[in-house]
Structure 1
C-alpha cells in the first residue's frame, strides 16, 4: 500500500529515533511517506536527514501537519511527555489524526493516555512492537494493536509499511499492551534462562561455541538463546536491548500479577537477575549481561569483554 494520497505523500511523524524508531522511519521512507522525526540527540536527527527525512527538535514541531504520529519511546512516562508535555505533539495534531503508541506500558496507562487523547479528538492506537532493530529497518515487525476501528483504517498504510504481521486485538486501547506484556514475560525469562545455561556450560568447562551450535539445533533452543548468546560468546555487551528494559517490563508484570492476585514466580526470579545486573553497574548494557552476573556469582569464566 502506497504512502501517497491523491498524488501527494502522506506526512508521518516519528518521535524517538533510536535503533527501533530510526528503522521504522526508514521503512516509512521506503514506502513513499513524507517522514519527519524528532529525537533529543542531534546525531539521530542528522541521520534521519541523511536518509531523506525531515528532522525536528520537538514533538510539537514534528507533529505539525502529520496525519499519523508514531511514538517509539521507552515507557508510559515518556509517551505522556511527548504527547501532552511542554511542546507536546497534541498541541499541533489535527482532529482525526492518529497517535500510534509503540512503547511498552501497562494496560492501565494505555487506557489513560488514550482517554486523554480522545478529549482532543485524536485517535489513539495502542500498538506495541516486537522484532528488534533489524526487522524494524526491514519493515518486518510484529505489531500488537488495539483501538477504535477508525484508527486502524486511517493508519492501515503506515502499519503495513512497518510490519510483517499486524494483530488487531480489540477495539479498546489496553489490549495491545496486555499482549505485549505476555510477550515480555516470556522474553525476559528466556534471556535469563539462556544466560544461566551458558554460564553453567562455562563452569562445567565446556566449549561455549560448541554448546551454542548444539543447543540451536536442539529442542532446548529458543529465539532469545539464539539471538542473545552470540553477544556473550563475542564478549560484546553493547546495548541492542538494555538490562533496564527488563527491569522495567518484568516490574510491570509483577504489578499486573499482584493486582490480579496471580502468582508469577518464574518472572519474579528473572527480575531479580536483571536487578542484580543493574545494581552491578550493567543497567545500560545489553540484557545478555545477566550471564556476567551468573559468572560473577559462580566463578565461571566468560569470553573477555570487547573494549
Structure 2
C-alpha cells in the first residue's frame, strides 16, 4: 500500500552533502515532509526545487521534525549543529530521534549521545556506507546502535534511506566502532587501488583493459570497482574527498593506538592521503591519491596535466 504524509512523518536532514542529499531525497520519495539544512545557499535552493523545505539553521530544521539525521563531516561539526548557537537542541521536542550519521571516533559519539539523551532526546548511532549512488537510491547500509525505543521511532525514516540496517547494540558506540573498521578497509583499498593503477600505467598496461579484467577477478574490491573507474576516466569530481579519509584514517590510527592495536597498512594509507591533501588535492575525489604516486613514478594518468 502506498504511504501518505499522514502515516509517515516529518524529518530533518542537517548537512546536504553527498550522503545527506541522497538521504533527504529518499525521505521525500517515501512521503516524508523534509526540512533540509546546509550552509550553502545554492544547495538549499536546489533542495527547495526538489520539494523539500530549506532551513538556514539547524534549530529551524529540527523545530518540527520527529527524526533528525545529522550528516555533517566530523564530531566538531556535529557538536556545533546540535549544541551551538542556532543548534538543533534549541527547538527539538523531547523524544525527537537524532541519528548521528557522521563518521566519528566512538568515544566522541558516546559523549554526544549522552548529552542528547540528558536533554530528553532519543539517539541512534547511525554511520552509513554505500557511497553517493546508494544514498540517492535509498539503499545505504546503516551501522546502527541505540535503544529499542529509538530504533522503533526511527524505523520508517531508516527504511526510507537504507537497503539494510544493522542493529549492533542497545547503546550508541558500537555503530561508530564498526564504521571505523569499515573506513580502515575502505581507505587502504583506495590507496592500493591508486598504487595498482599507477604501477600498471608505469609498465605500459592500458588502464581501461586492466580495469575491465581486474574488476571481475580475485584482486578486486568494491573500492577498486568504484575508484578504479574514476582513475581510468580521469574524473576527480568529489564524491568523497581526500580530506575525508585524512579524517577517517586519523580516527583509525588514533583509536588503534589507544587500544594497543597495530595498524601499519592504515598508517601507510593515511600518510598517502595526507600527502595528497598537502599537495592541494584535499577537496578532490579520494581517488586523487593516485596523482601523488603517479608524480613520484613519473607517469601521467588520465586527468593529470603534463607540466613542462
User: What TM-score do the two structures reach when normalised by structure 1?
Assistant: 0.97
Instruction: Give the equivalent residue in structure 1 for 2:144.
Output: 145
**1:27–1:161: 8 Å Cα contact kept in structure 2?**
yes
In structure 2, the residue corresponding to 1:293 is in which secondary structure? helix
> 1:301, CA displacement in angstroms?
2.3
Unaligned runs of 5+ in 1: none
Pair 43,88 (structure 1): closer, same or farther in 2 beyond 3 Å = same
User: What TM-score do the two structures reach when normalised by structure 2?
Assistant: 0.96
The CA distance in 2 between the partners of 1:217 and 1:139, in whole Å, is 26
In structure 1, the residue corresponding to 2:266 is in which secondary structure? helix
**What whole-Å deviation, never above 9, does each CA across 1:129-160 have from its counterpart, x for those lacking one?**
00111111111000000011110010000001
Instruction: Give the equivalent residue in structure 2 for 1:104.
Output: 103
> 1:3, CA displacement in angstroms?
6.3
The CA distance in 1 between the partners of 2:154 and 2:180, in whole Å, is 23
Pair 304,115 (structure 1): closer, same or farther in 2 beyond 3 Å = closer
Unaligned runs of 5+ in 2: none
**1:3–1:10: 8 Å Cα contact kept in structure 2?**
no
1:188 maps onto 2:187 in alignment: yes
Instruction: Give the equivalent residue in structure 1 for 2:160.
Output: 161
Instruction: Give the equivalent residue in structure 2 for 1:115.
Output: 114
The CA distance in 2 between the partners of 1:301 and 1:15, in whole Å, is 39
Pair 179,3 (structure 1): closer, same or farther in 2 beyond 3 Å = farther
The CA distance in 2 between the partners of 1:2 and 1:39, in whole Å, is 30
**1:2–1:157: 8 Å Cα contact kept in structure 2?**
no
Instruction: Give the equivalent residue in structure 1 for 2:258.
Output: 259
The CA distance in 2 between the partners of 1:176 and 1:134, in whole Å, is 22
Work out the number of aligned pairs and report it. 305
Is 286-295 or 231-240 further displaced after alignment? Answer: 231-240
> 1:224, CA displacement in angstroms?
0.6
**What whole-Å deviation, never above 9, does each CA across 1:164-206 have from its counterpart, x for those lacking one?**
0000000110100000000000000000000000000011011
The CA distance in 2 between the partners of 1:190 and 1:224, in whole Å, is 6
Mapping for residues 233-248 of structure 1, pairs under 5 Å: 233-248=232-247
The CA distance in 2 between the partners of 1:209 and 1:62, in whole Å, is 45
Instruction: Give the equivalent residue in structure 2 for 1:174.
Output: 173
The CA distance in 2 between the partners of 1:302 and 1:47, in whole Å, is 34
- 4+ residue runs of structure 1 moved beyond 6 angstroms? none
1:273 maps onto 2:272 in alignment: yes
Superposition RMSD in Å? 1.4
1:11 maps onto 2:10 in alignment: yes
The CA distance in 2 between the partners of 1:298 and 1:65, in whole Å, is 55
Mapping for residues 295-306 of structure 1, pairs under 5 Å: 295-305=294-304
